Amino acid sequence: MGMDVGGKSGGAIASMNVVPLIDILLVLLIIFMVITPLTQRGLDALIPQPSKDNQKQEQAMLEKTIVVQVLNGNQLKINEEPTTWDALGPRLADVFKERADKVAFVKGDDDVRFQQVARAIDVMRNAGIDKVGLMTAKLEAGQ
C-alpha cells in the first residue's frame, strides 16, 4: 500500500499500489498460456484395425446372411437357390433352427408387386425369423 503526502488538502491520502499485483497477474497469465496447449483434450479412443483374415470374416458373414429374393413370375430364391412358396417356410425353419441370431433379408425385383414381398415376409416370420430386413439396390451397392 502506498501513501501520498501533501497536496492541497494538507493531509495524508492512502492509495493502493497495484503495480506488483499486475505483475503477478501477468506472470500467472503467461504460465497458464504455456501450460494450456500441453494438456490433453478429448478422450482416448481405440480404433479397430483391419485384421489379416478380413477376407475370411467377410466370407463367413456372407455364408451366414440369408437373402430371400422375390422374382418376376412368382419365383423365389434363397441365396441364389431356387425354391417354391410351399418349400420356403420349411427350408427357412431348417436353416434357422440352429442359429442364435434369426435375421434375414428380403430382396424384391423392381417389377414385383409389394404384395408378393409382404407374403415372403409373412412366411419368414412364421418360420421363426425375428428380424426381417428389406434390401434395396442402393443398400446392395453400399450407398
The Cα 58–Cα 79 span in angstroms is 16
- Tell me which residue has cell 417356410: 89
Residue ranges of the chain with pLDDT lower than 70?
Answer: 1-11, 38-63, 137-143
* pLDDT at site 39: 63
* pLDDT at site 136: 72
Residue 74, phi-psi category: left (phi > 0), alpha (psi -120 to 50), beta (remainder): left
* pLDDT at site 79: 86
* pLDDT at site 26: 94
| Secondary structure letter of residue 38 according to DSSP | G
* pLDDT at site 29: 93
The Cα 108–Cα 30 span in angstroms is 67
Three-state DSSP class for residue 3 = strand
Domain range for residue 28? 12-38
The Cα 126–Cα 85 span in angstroms is 13
Radius of gyration of the chain (CA): 37
- Based on DSSP, count helices (H) and strands (E) in the chain, helices before strands: 5, 7
The Cα 68–Cα 120 span in angstroms is 8
Q: What is the CATH number for 61? A: 3.30.420.270
* pLDDT at site 7: 57
Count of domains forming the chain = 2
Q: Residue 24: which residues within 8 A CB-CB, separation 6 or more?
A: none
Q: 96 in a domain, yes or no? A: yes
Same domain, 26 and 64: no
Same domain, 33 and 58: no
